Amino acid sequence: MNWRLFAPVIAIVVFALLWEAVVWVNDWPNYKMASPSDLGPAFWKFRWLFLEYGWDTLWRTVAGLLLSVLVGLLLGMIMGLNRTMRDALYPLLVGFNAIPKATVVPIIALLFVGAHDMNTILIAFLISFFPIAVSVSIGLSTLEPEYRDILAALGASRFTIFWKIALPKTLPEFFGALKVAVTLAFIGTNLMEIVEPHGRGLGHLFDSGKISADYPLMFAVLIALAVLGILLYYVVVVLERIFAGWAERSPT
């Protein structure tokens, strides 16, 4: 048995058992704290909604994330390749990032009432582009001049230097930021789904559970979110292995 696969499974089982034990020892009713054994029936009862709303949450998060990769790369390039633009934009970005996104959620929700998909994607994007923009700009602006010179001396254009050297060299930083961004985007999606009335997605299912005092359902949504989060994170890890695996040193 491969321990690298086996060990996390054991950890999850132990965690579930401890959780069950805590609820059982304290004799908590399920409207105070649901136990893992309550989750099965909750999942089964709402299995179609879980699939449907899980898909909503997933694709909205991915769409928001793609948007923030695009915009983050673009902003990172602008700030990484041009000193003046970096000086001009940096304080603005830091200020924007400092605003707690929970306060932006109602503003967006009121701005485009009823446009659930767009609102959700927008928040997922707004919350997650910052780390990408910053890491790409740092990666580009710290490129050693010799890297530029070996191609510039051959008459290479700025674009060629960017494409052949600067961009691939920045990929490890980019994927580091993407791992942070994927979690943030996921949080953004759920914030909006919980707040918006008549919405869809796992966030909305959570809110329904709250309104109807269905505690096992609320906990089941949390577990579903955790599973989706793990899935998204490891997709990024696999992409990183493929595109920036060279940065990982073999253990010697």
Partner 1 sequence: MDTNSPAGVQTQGPEEGRPVGGQPPSDALIDIRGVKLAYETKDGRLPVLDGVDMQVPEGGFVAVVGPSGCGKSTLTRLIAGLLEPNAGEVWLHGERVTGPKSSVGMAFQNPVLLEWRSVLRNVTLPLELVAPRMPKREKEERALRLLTLVGLEGFERKRPSELSGGMRQRASLCRSIVHKPEVLILDEPFGALDAFTREDLWQTMQKVKSEEPFTGVMITHDLRESIFLADQVIVLSGRPAFTQFTMEIPWKGERDLDLLYTAEGAEMLGELRDQIQIAQGRSPREADA
Q: Which long-range contacts (CB under 8 A, 24 or more apart) does 167-173 make?
A: 169/139, 169/143, 170/76, 170/80, 170/135, 170/136, 170/139, 170/140, 171/243, 171/244, 171/247, 172/240, 172/244, 172/247, 173/135, 173/136, 173/138, 173/139
Nearer to partner 1, 157 or 212 (CB): 157
| Shortest Å, Cβ 149 to partner 1 | 6
Contacts of partner 1 in 163-182 (CB under 8 A): 164-165, 168-169, 171
Would you say 210 and 141 are in contact if contact means Cβ atoms under 8 Å apart? no
Site map (CB under 8 A) of partner 1, residues 113-152, x = contact: -------------------------------x-xx-xxxx
Among 89, 156, 180, 222, binds partner 1 (CB under 8 A): 156
**Residue 242 binding partner 1, by CB under 8 A:** no
Among 5, 154, 211, 242, binds partner 1 (CB under 8 A): 154
Buried b (16+ CB within 10 A) or exposed e, 76-88: bbbbbbeeeebee
**Residue 83 binding partner 1, by CB under 8 A:** no
Single-letter amino acid code for the residue at 48: W
Would you say 120 and 201 are in contact if contact means Cβ atoms under 8 Å apart? yes
Would you say 239 and 175 are in contact if contact means Cβ atoms under 8 Å apart? yes
**Residue 155 binding partner 1, by CB under 8 A:** yes
Among 25, 92, 153, 211, binds partner 1 (CB under 8 A): 153
Nearer to partner 1, 165 or 180 (CB): 165
Q: Residue numbers of the site for partner 1 (CB under 8 A)?
A: 144, 146-147, 149-157, 160, 164-165, 168-169, 171, 244, 246-247, 249-250
